[in-house]
Amino acid sequence: GDSVTQMEGPVTLSEEAFLTINCTYTATGYPSLFWYVQYPGEGLQLLLKATKADDKGSNKGFEATYRKETTSFHLEKGSVQVSDSAVYFCALSPRTSGTYKYIFGTGTRLKVLA
């Protein structure tokens, strides 16, 4: 079945460091791909999305490119801030699902130190 695999956390970085959080997926067809962020004590917020191969989603300095050949959607940011400390979830929505159901990865906790 469809699935999402994220790199294990926690990831600890110093402020202004480069961030990569790996996400790979298994799906039938061409799913839509998403990154959600969960700040402490809060719900899930959509960070960025891509709906077809080679699309690049971007928001708040974060980017991710839909790579069909490697079935990946890695999240990157050039210079992280303390305020980026959160849990990041990669998710896919199968095209075969008429209900827009999402399948989430396990989440990667990011901690940024000043």
Partner 1 sequence: EPEVTQTPSHQVTQMGQEVILRCVPISNHLYFYWYRQILGQKVEFLVSFYNNEISEKSEIFDDQFSVERPDGSNFTLKIRSTKLEDSAMYFCASIQGADGYTFGSGTRLTVV
- Contacts with partner 1 by CB under 8 A lie at 32, 34, 36, 42-46, 49, 51, 89, 91, 93, 97-107
Report the C-alpha gap between 88 and 44 in whole angstroms.
9
CB of 18 to partner 1, least distance (A): 26
Give the nearer residue to partner 1 in terms of CB position, either 46 or 82: 46
Give the nearer residue to partner 1 in terms of CB position, either 28 or 45: 45
CB of 103 to partner 1, least distance (A): 7
Give the nearer residue to partner 1 in terms of CB position, either 56 or 101: 101
Task: Confirm if 65 and 73 have CB atoms less than 8 A apart.
Answer: yes
Give the nearer residue to partner 1 in terms of CB position, either 71 or 102: 102
Q: Produce one character per residue of 32-47: b if its CB has 16 or more CB atoms within 10 Å, e if not.
A: bbbbbbbeeeeebeeb
Phi then psi dihedrals of residue 91, to 5 deg: -145, 155
Instruction: Give the DSSP letter string of 3-27.
Output: EEEE--S-EEEETT--EEE-EEEE-
CB of 114 to partner 1, least distance (A): 25
